């Protein structure tokens, strides 16, 4: 049962970094419940705005509806009220409604509405798709401007007029004029979050377009660095942000860009490199090669961003990464 009213959820999310946890799989490909609980417990131990289970970095696009509800339930139970947990609703309209209701039943506080499956959609169709999902749940709904779901400023305004539980706009396109129109038209009626791959890269400029937060994939494995980065962005400390971009984020992008789909795979690579192995990604994604993993681990050391060892948890070291690389290299 949700504890946040939609507008209360928007207030909680908009001024905190947003966690998009990976979903660990066992060697035979099932959701690894214990490792997920351990990860959510760690991710929830820091001061974040919220946690999105089954998001993009959580390979939500590769989870069955049952698995999506399963990870939401696990995240809600493990977070234990330390931070609001949201689920995702994807697929065609009927599937998205089913996913939304399952996430609500699993205890989610809100929903990220993923783009509809496969088909192209024009504005009136997108409005009816998103409207049907908003009408099917009491939870706060955030639309994801991505792929075939490009919501115009007017469509966003029409959806906001219809549904008080429509609370947020997440963007993964990065069209400055479009974002300016959406923000100028809708203002404080919504909150805005960056969702481009490795969102830190764009966080400081997008702050000027109302994007007070963003989905941080790297928060999975370098939480302290990610939180310090977010603090510097909100303080508009250009020098500190630029220094962190140069030291870690930009060299990280160089590894990420070696293979399509690495945007998620590199996060699981980061988990291996810090000694918190979360298993492999599901097809169609590919795991990092042994060399890419070794390069990522070396970057963590060179940039000085490895997380502090938690009590009783593995203190991620180069030795851990070397072991992971040896395993990968066979």
Ligand X SMILES: O=CCCC(=O)C(=O)O
By Cβ distance, which residue is nearest to ligand X? 56
Q: Which CB, 216 or 320, lies closer to ligand X?
A: 216
Distance CA 282, CA 244 (A): 31
C-beta of 131 vs 216, nearer to ligand X = 216
> CA-CA distances (angstroms) from residue 164 to 15, 139, 142, 209, 221?
20, 10, 12, 22, 35
Catalytic residue among 14, 170, 268, 272: 170
57 is in an annotated binding site: yes
What's the angle, vertex CA 250, arms to CA 246 and CA 252, rounded to 5? 125
Closest CA to 275 of 303, 309, 301: 309
Q: How far is the CB of 67 from ligand X (least distance, A)?
A: 16
Is residue 272 part of the annotated active site? The answer reads: no
CA distance 198 to 217: 6
Nearer to ligand X, 124 or 231 (CB): 231
Closest CA to 163 of 155, 173, 153, 172: 155
Residue 255 or 325 having the CB closest to ligand X: 255
The residue annotated as part of the active site, out of 36, 144, 192, 219, is 144
Q: What is the rounded CA–CA span in Å between residue 229 and residue 17?
A: 10
Instruction: Supply 292's token pair.
Output: 């890419």
Minimum separation from the CB atom of position 124 to ligand X (A)? 26
**Minimum distance of ligand X from residue 1's CB (angstroms):** 25
Rounded to 5, what percent of the chain is helix, strand, coil? 50, 10, 35
Active site residue 214: no
Structure tokens at 189: 């009626």
CA 223 to chain centre: 13
Least spacing, CB of residue 11 vs ligand X, in Å: 21
CB-nearer residue toward ligand X: 167 or 199: 199
To ligand X, the closest distance from the beta carbon of 200 in angstroms equals: 7
What does the binding site for ligand X look like in residue numbers (CB under 6 A)? Answer: 20, 55-57, 195, 197-199, 215-217
Residues in the chain: 330
**Binding site, annotated residues for pyruvate:** 57
Q: What are the catalytic residues?
A: 144, 170
């Amino acid at each position: 049962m949700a504890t946040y009213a939609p507008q209360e959820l928007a207030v909680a999310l908009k001024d905190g970094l947003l966690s998009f946890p990976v979903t660990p799989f066992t060697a035979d490909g099932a959701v690894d419940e214990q490792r997920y609980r351990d990860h959510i417990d760690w991710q929830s131990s820091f001061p974040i705005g919220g946690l999105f289970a089954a998001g993009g970095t959580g390979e939500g696009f590769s989870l069955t509806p049952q698995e999506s509800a399963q990870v939401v339930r696990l995240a809600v139970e493990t977070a234990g009220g330390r931070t609001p947990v949201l689920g995702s609703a994807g697929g065609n309209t009927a599937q998205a409604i089913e996913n939304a209701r399952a996430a609500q039943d699993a205890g989610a506080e809100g929903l990220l509405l993923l783009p509809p499956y496969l088909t192209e959609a024009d504005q009136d169709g997108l409005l009816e798709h998103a409207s049907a999902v908003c009408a099917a749940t009491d939870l706060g709904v955030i639309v994801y401007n991505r792929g075939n779901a490009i919501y115009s400023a007017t469509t966003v305004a029409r959806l906001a007029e219809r549904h008080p539980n429509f609370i947020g706009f997440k963007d993964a396109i990065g069209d400055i004029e479009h974002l300016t129109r959406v923000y100028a038209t809708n203002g404080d009626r919504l909150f805005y979050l960056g969702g481009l791959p490795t969102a830190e890269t764009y966080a400081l400029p997008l702050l000027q377009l109302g994007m007070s937060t963003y989905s941080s994939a790297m928060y999975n494995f370098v939480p302290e660095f990610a939180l310090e980065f977010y603090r510097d962005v909100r303080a508009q400390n250009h020098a500190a942000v630029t220094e962190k971009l140069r030291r870690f984020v930009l060299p990280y992008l160089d590894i990420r860009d070696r293979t399509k789909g690495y945007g998620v795979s590199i996060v699981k690579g980061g988990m291996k490199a810090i000694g918190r192995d979360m298993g492999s990604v599901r097809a169609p994604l590919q795991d990092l090669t042994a060399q890419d993993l070794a390069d990522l681990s070396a970057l963590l050391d060179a940039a000085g961003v490895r997380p502090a060892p938690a009590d009783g948890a593995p203190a991620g070291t180069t030795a851990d990464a070397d072991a992971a690389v040896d395993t990968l290299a066979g």
